Structure 1
Amino acid sequence: MFFREITHLIEDNSEQLNYGIAIIDIDTDDEFEAVVMGFGYPNVILKRDGEKLVNVATGLLSDEEMNAIGVAGGDIDGDGQEEIYFLNTDTFGGENQFFDRLISFENAKFIDLFELSIHKNIRNVGAGRSVACIDRTGDGQYGFFIANYASPMKYYEMDNNNYLRDIAPELGMNMVTGGRSLIAFPIHSDKTDLFAGNEMGANYLFINQGNGQFTEMAKRFGVQDTYEDVRGVSALDVNGDGVLDLVYGNWNGPHRMFVKINDKFVNQAPPNLAEPSAIRTVIAADLDNDGDDEIFFNNINQPNRLFKRIDGEWRRVELGTATEPNGYGTGAAVWDYDSDGTLELLVSHGELEPQALSLYKSVNCNNWIRIMPLTQYGAPARGSLVRLRAKNQIKIKHIDAGSSYLGQMEPVAHFGLGKLSQVDEIEIQWPNGMRKSYPTLEINTFHRIDFPF
């Protein structure tokens, strides 16, 4: 069995309709919380208390009268603390009755920036799905991009007067499609690019032109996939060439493993991975610290799947109770909540009927190293790239800005090392495209790296 179940560590784990999960340090205590969206139920925020995870969501963060589905964090105002975007929806497509929230901690309390009178007229009324934070110019201040379904996509930034603006129209990014999933990192440029996986229409690939402007180039790079319906998406180095590739799930359609070869993506999904399923979340992470990423497919009312590269081939491996054949999976995320160097997997459920959260981890004694780059303002530098060199190996990770489906992973490059006892070099590429190397960082350690420029 790959996982053992540790759900009993979640206190007061009631059955309810949940969706997306984001991993964010909501209280700046240098520990991450899991922010879980509740759909017609209270949101849940799981915080470590000894070995246990306890729900600390109250007031605006609980927001029990809303239908929350997507969530992401990002420092939109440059104060060093991530704001949290709650994406609410009460309809399949088109316009909502509910508004989204943009939660900021100001004057010792949480407020909704969209509730301020100066911002009410720009609130998102579209039926959104996923949200990602993007630092398009590398200045350390993020915007939130919203994948809406059958209404224009949104891109909120804060201007020099601390007013929120939707800049999607001026960037030519206010497309109308069946928006589903997002992932943002330097896919082709040295700055942050954006892949948007869509339903009932072609995917989008927005390439940063180096000045914060974007050009849509999905056809040029071969990732339009026009006739499929995307759900979760993640990034990993599939073939060990030091370049990040894309893996995503299509709803009851063939899943994709797009490998980047000569500035074009080529689908190389093996048949067992491509096999259709009612997929929601896709996560790529080194869950057992052996030095190679696994790929987790979270399905709804179907068995979950886990794929591992063994002898050069992607093979499906036994999940144990994490298979959840009767689970109505709607979201998932990984983070190291107990700081032992092994990632935990949190799975949310709902939509068809209320179910409790579930929690899993791999048992291993492999080595590891964890890297968290920071922005100019001390917030997580989401969208950065981190490269590791050890014994002629090159490994690469991105600092998650929003991915999978409806959620966001921890802002940490988590490298399993297997039995390696030393790392030769860590290189970080910040969202402004600049790079800096750090030799011989200590292994089995979590490193916060300040912005150096």
Structure 2
Amino acid sequence: MFTERSALVDDGRPMRGYGVAVTPGRDGPLVFVAGYGEPNRLYAREGDRFSDTACGIVADGTRHGMGVCAADLDADGCEEVYVHNCARGVDGGDPDLLLSRLESDRYRWTDVFAREVNADRLDVRAGRSVAALDRLGTGRYGVAVSGYAAPLAFYELGDDGEVTDMAEAVGLEVAGGCRSLLAVPYRSREGDLFAGVEGGPNRLFSNRDGHYARTDGGPVLSDPGGDTRGAAIVDEGGTFALAVGNESAPSRLLRCAPDGGYEDVAPPALRDAGAVRTVVAADFDNDGREELFFNVCGGENRLFERVDGPDGRSRWEPVDLGAAAEPDGFGTGAVAADLDGDGALELLVVHGEVAAQPVTAYGDPDAPDAGWLRVRPTTRHGAPARGAVVTLETAEGVQRRTVDAGGGCLCQTEPVAHFGLAHAEPLRVDVRWSDGRERTVVGPSADQEITVRHPSRKATDRDVRTTR
């Protein structure tokens, strides 16, 4: 499926990197790559390629970056970037970074943790992943930070710039061994949190009016014998499933069961995906169906596509990756994003588990011709509405996407709901925000990106109906 597109980002410098996050920039997406014992990278578009613009506190080559996510923590309409730093072992390491833009249209940043009010608030723990949660539905996010020997943390930012760990107060309790965090739109309208655990049961927390309660997802979801790394929400024709990648145990594909639990429908090839790091769900070929990419460390990456089974239920089959197989790669993080603005998603892969390797990018050259629609929901403050759910109805069926608030293990994709059309006509788009409010766009044109504002803000010309 994929051909090499690494010229978009490759500047010839191998790196030991882990997490990667995509946030809006001045002239297109900004791609933040966490460096492990070497400078972070912040790729920004310059002409027809991306260049590393990181310097100062953003580059910060003295720490060991792991998980990265972006979200609007201070309700100013611009995303901050949270970087979780972690040295080897389980006893902590380097302080984390919370990078805030001094001006929204310039790449000048400051570390919120460095402010005097946060002198005793530095996060020094060993963990891996981070995820953004809008627990109250106000468009003001907090950041969940996983931990090994330390409990899970959940940081919120006050009006005075003070960072406070609210995990215990809001019910997010995972004692240790947490590897992955994924914001999921499963059981509650506000959005829940999946916590993938190494050497213990996974957890699912349900958001109940801003407080989280642990939900019994049954033995299939808890998977106490698993070794969870990556996780992703994937659309199966209008309903969501949860893909979970394990390192030294079978990977899973979980569908909601009628009894409120989950059933594992992973075929043998998916269960045997290998030592998975990151899982990415995205429609790379614009055929109207998301693929599942498993970033494998020390082996060939894997890709699966959804096909219709004889019983009417979807099943997943392996697909030839082409250049993105990377049999000699030591992949860590991976995301999907439309880097070049052609309406097709590129796959960006970061490496560095064992040794420094270049950042790579791949794409399907035929995907733009199949048609596409991209939907960018925003909060009442004008920032990306991470955690929003977007449903597209076409003449051929229904697709759903969630705007990524935390991509399972280490990473976070672009804050856009990307739909391949497979030449179908788009009929309507429904956006549901984490506060339960909705907006409908009727008759959107194909091959365009549309911004859908929160219902509290003035509607665009094509926003024809708003509901509560």
Which bin holds the TM-score, normalised by the shorter protein? over 0.9
For the Cα contact (< 8 Å) 2:112–2:161, is it kept in 1? no
Is 1:149 the counterpart of 2:148? The answer is yes
C-alpha distance in 1 between matches for 2:52 and 2:216:
41
CA displacement at 1:337 relative to structure 2: 1.0
CA displacement at 1:163 relative to structure 2: 2.1
Aligned to 1:275: 272
Q: How many positions carry a matched residue from both structures?
A: 445
For the Cα contact (< 8 Å) 2:348–2:361, is it kept in 1? yes
Q: 1:375-390, aligned counterparts within 5 Å?
A: 375-390=379-394
C-alpha distance in 1 between matches for 2:372 and 2:301:
26
CA displacement at 1:30 relative to structure 2: 5.4
Aligned to 2:349: 347
Q: 1:167-182, aligned counterparts within 5 Å?
A: 167-182=166-181
Is 1:300 the counterpart of 2:302? The answer is no
C-alpha distance in 1 between matches for 2:5 and 2:161:
43
CA RMSD of aligned residues (A): 1.5
C-alpha distance in 2 between matches for 1:354 and 1:185:
33
- What letter matches 2:341 in structure 1? S
Is 1:288 the counterpart of 2:285? The answer is yes
Shift in CA distance, 218/49, structure 1 to aligned 2, threshold 3 Å: farther
For the Cα contact (< 8 Å) 2:437–2:455, is it kept in 1? no
After the TM superposition, which of the residue ranges 225-234 and 50-59 deviates more from structure 2? 50-59
C-alpha distance in 2 between matches for 1:186 and 1:377:
21
For the Cα contact (< 8 Å) 2:10–2:358, is it kept in 1? no
After the TM superposition, which of the residue ranges 45-54 and 403-412 deviates more from structure 2? 45-54
- Deviations along 1:165-222, one digit per CA (max 9) or x if unpaired, are 100011232321211111113211111211111101111101011x101101144585
SS at match of 2:149: strand
- Deviations along 1:115-157, one digit per CA (max 9) or x if unpaired, are 1121132221110200011100111100000011121110001
CA displacement at 1:92 relative to structure 2: 2.5
- What letter matches 2:241 in structure 1? D
Aligned to 1:201: 200
- Deviations along 1:59-97, one digit per CA (max 9) or x if unpaired, are 11111111111100000000000000011001331322x
- What letter matches 2:320 in structure 1? E
- What letter matches 2:263 in structure 1? V
Is 1:327 the counterpart of 2:326? The answer is no
C-alpha distance in 1 between matches for 2:219 and 2:455:
33
Q: 1:20-419, aligned counterparts within 5 Å?
A: 20-25=19-24, 27=25, 29=26, 31-96=28-93, 98-106=94-102, 109-209=108-208, 211-220=209-218, 222-238=220-236, 240=237, 242-262=238-258, 263-312=260-309, 313-364=315-366, 365-391=369-395, 393-419=397-423
C-alpha distance in 1 between matches for 2:133 and 2:196:
16
SS at match of 2:63: coil
For the Cα contact (< 8 Å) 2:217–2:261, is it kept in 1? no
Shift in CA distance, 304/220, structure 1 to aligned 2, threshold 3 Å: closer
For the Cα contact (< 8 Å) 2:273–2:294, is it kept in 1? no
C-alpha distance in 2 between matches for 1:35 and 1:297:
20
For the Cα contact (< 8 Å) 1:11–1:52, is it kept in 2? no
CA displacement at 1:161 relative to structure 2: 4.0
Q: What TM-score does the superposition give when structure 1 sets the normalisation length?
A: 0.95
Unmatched runs of 5 consecutive residues or more in structure 2 = 310-314, 457-468
For the Cα contact (< 8 Å) 1:337–1:344, is it kept in 2? yes
C-alpha distance in 1 between matches for 2:122 and 2:380:
28
Q: What TM-score does the superposition give when structure 2 sets the normalisation length?
A: 0.92
For the Cα contact (< 8 Å) 2:278–2:295, is it kept in 1? yes
Aligned to 2:7: 8
C-alpha distance in 1 between matches for 2:432 and 2:207:
15
Shift in CA distance, 293/14, structure 1 to aligned 2, threshold 3 Å: same
